[in-house]
Structure 1
Amino acid sequence: MAMQLNGKYAVGILLTFILLAAVMLYIFPVLYMMTGIKQMTAFSFSLSRIALWFVLLVIFLYTHCVEKGHFLLKKEKNYTLAFFIKTIVGLYFICIMGGAFLGAAIQVFTEEKMSSKLFEISSLLKNNYFLIIFTCFTAGAVEELLMRGYIQPRIEKMYNSPLSGILVSAILFGILHSTYGTIGQVIIPFFIGVVFAIFYKLYSNIKILMICHFMIDFISLMMMNMLDIKHLSVL
């Protein structure tokens, strides 16, 4: 029975990664073919975010129809409002400071320029506050529910190893961000993935991670929105 369930977990994890990778890599070419518009627009970018929600829906249905269990294997623990606030702020600064250090190190050793895709998205989101919020909410909810909520505990159960759950979920999180085309957009998400996965293992609260993920993306995009785009590479 356990072997059969592990097989279903493995298929679910593979399905999650394939669907997310397909959206990241092919959603815009598909939209270009359907609309004939050969550039990213606010509308096509919105559709790409909706596609991520569709992936979450597919995995949710897979959980209930094939695995026949709960989407979140780890029961959510409840905490006080004070714990929520201090933890979200603490995680935010750990991720931002660690990301800044890694970004600076990568810049020194590789002289890597800003991702052209990130530049394009930043320009697209300029002063479009609804799309900024929708983008950040989608990333915070969908990515945390799939990477930490779905994949991490299943890897841990399959291999009876919390470390495997942490590392595999963080590696997949980093690989999915490789579509931005830079080393930094793989290493920094991997680092954040490790921090978030350790927290989830210790405290079993996906809501805190969703809020913190939203904050990281929202504050970053708002800074990009306010600053001259050509100066963004220093962030």
Structure 2
Amino acid sequence: MSLYGKYALGILFTFVLLIAVMLYAFPLVYFITGVKEFKSANLFYTRIALWTVLALVFLYNFLMEKDAFLLWKEKKYPALFYIRAVIFLYLICAFGGAFLNLLIQIFAQENISRKLLQLALLFRNNYWLIISFCLTAGVVEELLMRGYIQPRIEKIYNSSYSGVFISAALFGILHSTYGTIGQVVVPFFIGTVFALFYKKYLNIKILIISHCIYDFVSMMIMNFTDIKHLSAF
């Protein structure tokens, strides 16, 4: 198998594993633990499943591709650049996501995601769970979606745009398990912003930090928001 064939298989392998975790992690945890409730311990176990996916992709890369996990060499920047970049990415994603959500509410008038509502209740004042959730999403999703998948798609199709938009589309699809249009459109938008940034500045660490902060701020707002007002949020 050619190296590009291995890249394609690795992308498929990664996406299938992530979809499997999103769809079946909770049923599997319920089966193993015997606790068929949406509890913090069960949610924590699903985060372990995501870290396991990252480990398996690293193993595939090491054994099959025998290439660098991050195909694009990391660029170093001064500390001030990190601060400015994180603030910029947060503001773009926060305001852009809020605008998209507003449009969806106006034209689609969809209800709040049932899964998001369950998470909001589970995260209520559970700060360790919030931190573990944000760290897992930031590290695992950025290393896999931007660090691993994006440059390999670009290599296969020899197109920067394909790497940006296909990786963003896959990122949006992964969030479709939340069951709403907004939970696909907004992640697609954020995935596009992050992918464009990664293509231009070649620094995955900034994306990891930005992703963690974006999720953390969002969850803290949810934590201090009355449940009945979450649809507006």
Alpha-carbon shift at residue 36 of structure 1 (Å) = 2.4
Opposite residue 92 of structure 1, the aligned amino acid is: Y
Alignment equivalent of 1:161, drawn from 159, 162, 165: 159
Opposite residue 216 of structure 2, the aligned amino acid is: F
After TM superposition, list the pairs within 5 Å mapping 1:167-182 onto structure 2.
167-182=165-180
Opposite residue 53 of structure 1, the aligned amino acid is: W
- Which residue is equivalent to 1:215? 213
Provide structure 1 residue ranges, at least 5 long, that are not aligned to the other structure.
none
- Which residue is equivalent to 1:130? 128
Alpha-carbon shift at residue 217 of structure 1 (Å) = 0.3
Alpha-carbon shift at residue 194 of structure 1 (Å) = 0.3
Q: Following the alignment from structure 2 to structure 1, what is the Cα–Cα distance between the partners of residues 228 and 45?
A: 27
Instruction: Confirm or deny that 1:32 pairs with 2:51.
Output: no
Opposite residue 93 of structure 1, the aligned amino acid is: L
How many pairs are equivalent?
A: 233
Q: Following the alignment from structure 1 to structure 2, what is the Cα–Cα distance between the partners of residues 192 and 164?
A: 16
Cα RMSD (Å) of the superposition? 0.8
TM-score of the two chains, using structure 1 as the length reference:
0.98
Provide structure 2 residue ranges, at least 5 long, that are not aligned to the other structure.
none
- Which residue is equivalent to 1:109? 107
Q: Following the alignment from structure 1 to structure 2, what is the Cα–Cα distance between the partners of residues 140 and 108?
A: 30
Alpha-carbon shift at residue 23 of structure 1 (Å) = 0.3
- Which residue is equivalent to 2:90? 92
Summarize deviations over 1:110-149 as a string: whole Å, max 9, x none. Answer: 1111100010011011111011000000000000000000
Alpha-carbon shift at residue 100 of structure 1 (Å) = 0.5
Q: Following the alignment from structure 1 to structure 2, what is the Cα–Cα distance between the partners of residues 81 and 66?
A: 36
3-state SS of paired residue (1:217): helix
Alpha-carbon shift at residue 37 of structure 1 (Å) = 1.9
- Which residue is equivalent to 1:150? 148
After TM superposition, list the pairs within 5 Å mapping 1:63-78 onto structure 2.
63-78=61-76
Q: Following the alignment from structure 2 to structure 1, what is the Cα–Cα distance between the partners of residues 14 and 158?
A: 21
- Which residue is equivalent to 1:206? 204
Alignment equivalent of 2:138, drawn from 137, 140, 146: 140
Identity in percent? 61
Q: Following the alignment from structure 2 to structure 1, what is the Cα–Cα distance between the partners of residues 65 and 47?
A: 26
Q: Following the alignment from structure 2 to structure 1, what is the Cα–Cα distance between the partners of residues 131 and 227?
A: 19
TM-score of the two chains, using structure 2 as the length reference:
0.99
